Amino acid sequence: MSNGYALPIQRLIAEFSRLPGIGEKTAARLATFVLRDTPEDARRLAYSIIEVKEKIKLCSSCYNLAEGEFCDVCRDTRRETDKLCVVEEPDVLVAIEKSGCFHGTYHVLHGVLSPPDGIGPEQLHLFQLMNRIDQRGISEVIIATNPSVQGEATALLITKMMQKKPVRVSRIAMGVPIGGDLKYADHMTLSKSIEFRRDMDLS
């Protein structure tokens, strides 16, 4: 039985429905918006999607999203290169940058430990993190993973991996609720979390 939409619209709705947090009704509204838009606007949207897929890759230093070999943060010579903030995703890096409270560098894990999902240390750029610490003269590593079970497990593993390294390891203060997501935290909360970070203690 037909759902009332022409086949091209059905395909567009199906593609929008694949996006995280987008249900069928929202996908239908987005498809309708595209239909009402001008052909030039639709082409610009399509080009932007293709451009992102073709030009954006991971920074060869910190694994942030980058257009060239290095991201904007790693190219910035004004950064405090001895301080390294470890985050789960690029979205968290962007949120911390907007808070204006941190002027060091970053290391993006692209996830957290989740054995049921097949995500272990090898999938999280953790060994690359250790190499950076050994080679770049890092004096402090700030762990800014989310306050979730997986985020805490990842923070603990990083702390254990660095136990014998002459580096201060700190964890951001929890100004966000347990189970929360850092990329949705307001700038003041993130700023205070960085400012009042605490040392990681294995004892």
Q: Are residues 105 and 183 in the same domain?
A: yes
Instruction: Give the C-alpha separation, 28 to 30, whole Å.
Output: 5
Q: How many domains does the chain have?
A: 2
Q: Highest mean pLDDT: which of 33-37, 190-194, 195-199? A: 33-37
Residue 22 lies in a domain: yes
Q: Output the CA torsion sign for 179, 183, 184, 185.
A: positive
Q: Are residues 98 and 186 in the same domain?
A: yes
Interval 63-106: pLDDT, tens: 999 999 999 999 999 999 999 999 999 999 999 999 888 999 99
Instruction: Tell me the CA distances in angstroms from 200 to 58, 69, 162, 197, one per residue in order.
Output: 28, 32, 10, 9
Q: What is the CATH number of the domain that holds 48?
A: 1.10.8.420
Q: Are residues 97 and 190 in the same domain?
A: yes
Q: Are residues 118 and 18 in the same domain?
A: no
CA 24 and chain centroid, separation: 26
Q: Are residues 97 and 169 in the same domain?
A: yes
In terms of residue numbers, what domain contains 94?
Answer: 77-199
Among the ranges given (39-53, 113-127, 154-168, 169-183), the one the predictor scored with the smallest mean pLDDT: 169-183
Question: What is the average per-residue pLDDT within 137-141?
Answer: 92
Q: Are residues 194 and 104 in the same domain?
A: yes
Q: Are residues 36 and 86 in the same domain?
A: no
Q: Are residues 123 and 30 in the same domain?
A: no
Q: What is the CATH number of the domain that holds 171?
A: 3.40.1360.10
Tell me the whole-structure pTM to 2 decimals.
Answer: 0.77
Q: Are residues 90 and 170 in the same domain?
A: yes
Instruction: Give the C-alpha separation, 133 to 104, whole Å.
Output: 13
Q: Are residues 103 and 194 in the same domain?
A: yes
